[in-house]
Amino acid sequence: MQTLLKPLLMAAGSLAVALPALAAEMSPVGLWRTFDEKSGEPKSEVRISDSGGVLSGKVEKLLRKGADPKAVCDRCTDDRKGQPLVGLEIIRGAKKAEGKAVWEDGRILDPENGSTYSLKLTPADNGSKLDVRGSIGPFGRTQTWSRVE
C-alpha cells in the first residue's frame, strides 16, 4: 500500500506545482505581439500588467518597418495626446469577469485614429494567444495577439 501511496503523492505534488503556472498562462498579463489587420505583419509589442486586479497595457516596441520610434499619438483626444507611442498606455481598467477566463469593463485605445473602445480580453490556445475585442455598442472587431513572454 505504501508503494502505491508514494507515487500518488508525488503526482499530486507535481500537479499542485504545475496548476498555478498553467493558470498564469491563461491570463492576459505578459508581453504580446500585435499584427496589422490588412498585411498580417507584426505591428507592435504590448505589455499587459496587473495592479490590484485591474489590467493596463503599454506599447513597449514598434515593429512596423519604417516606424518612427519617436512618433507621438497626435490623434488622441485625452491625456495621451502628444505622448510618445512607445510607452503609451493603450489598455486601461480591464477586470476579470466573475467565474470566467475573460477580462472586460476596460477600454482600449487605437492610436492610429485616436478612438477608444470597450474592451474584452480572452486568452486562447492555452494562453499563447489573446483575443482582443474592441467595440462600440454591438459593433466591434477582434484581433488575435501572440504571446511573446
Question: For residue 9, is it within any domain?
Answer: no
Per-residue pLDDT at 18: 42
Q: In this structure, are residues 20 and 27 in contact, taking their beta carbons and an 8 Å threshold?
A: no
Grid coordinates representing 136? 462600440
Cell of 121: 480580453
Whether 33 maps to a domain, the answer reads yes
Domain membership flag for residue 87: yes
Report d(CA 116, CA 136) in Å as an integer.
9
The whole domain housing 33 covers: 28-147
The pLDDT of residue 60 is 98
Each residue's pLDDT, cut to its tens digit, for the chain (149 residues) gives: 455 445 444 444 444 444 444 444 589 999 999 999 899 999 999 999 999 999 999 999 999 999 998 999 999 999 999 999 999 999 999 999 999 999 999 999 999 999 999 999 999 999 999 999 999 999 999 999 999 99
Among the listed residues 91, 106, 78, 79, the one whose alpha carbon sits nearest the alpha carbon of residue 44: 91
Q: pLDDT, tens digit, for every residue of 106-118?
A: 999 999 999 999 9
CATH of the domain at 86: 2.40.128.520
pLDDT at 111: 94
Give the separation between CA 39 and CA 29, rounded to whole angstroms.
Answer: 26
pTM of the model as a whole: 0.82
Residue with cell 498562462: 25
- Residue 125, Cα to own-chain centre: how many angstroms? 14
Count how many domains the chain has. Answer: 1
Whether 16 is covered by a domain: the verdict is no
Residue 4 domain flag = no
Q: What is the pLDDT of residue 23?
A: 44
pLDDT at 96: 97
- Which string of DSSP letters, residue by residue, matches 51-102? ETTEEEEEEEEE-STT--TT-B-SS--STTTT-BSTT-EEEEEEEEPTTSS-
CA angle (51 as vertex; 95, 14 as ends), nearest 5: 85
Q: What is the pLDDT of residue 20?
A: 42
